[in-house]
Amino acid sequence: MRLHLPNCPHCGEKVGFAKAWFLKQEGEYRCPYCGGSSNVFLDAGAPLFGSVAVIASVIIFLIFRIFTGSISLLGVAIMAVPYLLFFLIAPFLIRLRKPTPRKRPQPPPQRGNIPPSRFTN
């Protein structure tokens, strides 16, 4: 797994950081340079990074709670750091792939060749 900004699978043009950040919520990307359409996927490491951010935040909370007896505004700010790092890493976890060609749907059966239904009386 490599952390890098996504590339258009058709022409190889890199997607910018801001555009990649918004792409993570989209299902399809159309390249402004070549006009090629691509499907948007998350890298397999995205759930791992998210889980690490949550676990790190919980550990920071427990450390503050055990050693100080309460949670201060500084503790909340420090707990937010793992989420901020995940927020900044998220655009590097986006992948673009060429869409797979769809199979052509089969034509509907002829009127006289329709098998009888099991549910008819």
* pLDDT recorded at residue 116: 62
46-68 and 73-89 are packed helices; what angle lies between their axes, rounded to 10 degrees?
A: 170
pTM of the model: 0.66
CB contact at 8 A, 95 and 6 = yes
The CA-based diameter of the chain, rounded to the nearest angstrom, is 80
Please give the chain's pLDDT, 121 residues, in tens.
Answer: 577 888 888 888 888 888 888 887 777 888 888 888 888 888 888 889 899 999 999 999 998 888 887 777 888 899 999 999 998 888 888 888 887 777 777 766 666 555 666 655 5
